[in-house]
Amino acid sequence: MNVISNIWNHPKTSAAGLLIAVVAIAGVLSQQGISLGRAGTGTVVSLVAAIATALLGLLARDPAATASEQASGSVSQQTKLGAVMLIALLLSSSLTGCSAASVAQDIVNWTPSLESAVATVDSTAALLAPADAPIFTTATAGFDATANLLEAQAKAYLANPSASVLAQLQTQVVTFQQQVNSSLLAAVKIVDSASQKHALQAIEAVSTIVNAMLALVESVSSKAAVAQMARAAQIKIAAVEPLIDRNASAALVAAHYGEPLAAARIHVANAELAERRTGF
């Protein structure tokens, strides 16, 4: 009990305790897919966690404070505590700044990656065995049109984040997600192992992005709307789960958000879990 009390009462260890709390909160936010906007090449949550971790390192390297320093408080300790409060302020202000507009912008930010992934799908048929190409082409035939509609709806929502536009975006993202799930199941019918691998890899990239956009749309949708979206999803995540390469998905998410691969893996896993819970 005395040790716990000392952690929060000692000037130095109380700072460490608060920093640890900040790092923990940032970790939870990252796991829930909350980025709180961009900060340079990374996210605000990543920035907060990095600063807090760095300050913990500084505290760990400091020599023990003398009795007089503990009584009066050293300048360096005050500086560090001030930095801790800055982190808390940054985290707080970022939370209040998270809005439907920022979510809409994130959805739009995914569209170049979506266009690239769909372009890869279009070129993949040429890599497949002649007998397998028609299966793949038929399964992915609507990707271009659906991706264009989804991109248009995302940009429309960014320009006008209204309930009516959101309803259209909800319908469009679920339609594409179901189309992708269907194509994954169709790709399993490809007999040639090399062809099947090419086909699944191409479709998985589209699947990762569409599911990321689905999660973003869900985050600004009411519970009733999410339930309605889930009812429209006939092919559930469980049906295509064995076909998903989570490492590839995490790599794509990590590159998009500028976060470590380990964090992206948690990001992807939690997004999938959240979607399962809502009925997808």
| Angstrom distance (rounded) from CA 208 to CA 214 | 10
Token pair of 29 as six digits:
């936010």
Residues 36, 114 share a domain: no
| Angstrom distance (rounded) from CA 35 to CA 73 | 35
**Alpha carbon 131 to chain centroid distance?**
37
Res 89: pLDDT? 41
42 within 8 A of 259, measured Cβ to Cβ? yes
Res 141: pLDDT? 93
Asked which of 98, 118, 144 is the last residue of a domain, the reply is 98
Residues 131, 19 share a domain: no
Res 244: pLDDT? 87
43 DSSP β-pair partners: 38
Q: Which residues of the chain have pLDDT under 70?
A: 1-99
Res 96: pLDDT? 40
Residues 75, 47 share a domain: yes
Res 93: pLDDT? 39
- Cα 140 to Cα 164, 207, 229: the distances in Å are 29, 12, 22
Residues 236, 114 share a domain: yes
Those residues whose C-beta lies under 8 Å from the C-beta of residue 253, and which sit 6 or more positions away, are 208, 212, 259, 264, 267, 268
Asked which of 43, 78, 98 is the last residue of a domain, the reply is 98
Those residues whose C-beta lies under 8 Å from the C-beta of residue 242, and which sit 6 or more positions away, are none
Other beta carbons less than 10 A from residue 188's beta carbon: 14
Residues 85, 181 share a domain: no
Asked which of 64, 82, 98 is the last residue of a domain, the reply is 98
Residues 215, 151 share a domain: yes
Residues 202, 82 share a domain: no
- Of 245, 18, 210, residue with least CA distance to 115: 210
Res 69: pLDDT? 46
Residues 125, 89 share a domain: no
Residues 121, 92 share a domain: no
Residues 74, 139 share a domain: no
Name the residue range of residue 207's domain.
Answer: 101-277
Query: Identity (one letter) of the amino acid at 210?
Result: V
111 within 8 A of 119, measured Cβ to Cβ? no
Q: What is the pTM of this model?
A: 0.66
| Angstrom distance (rounded) from CA 132 to CA 118 | 19
Res 26: pLDDT? 53
3-class secondary-structure state, position 26: helix
Domain count, the chain: 2
Helical H segments across 143-191, by residue range:
143-159, 163-187
Residues 182, 270 share a domain: yes
Residues 41, 155 share a domain: no
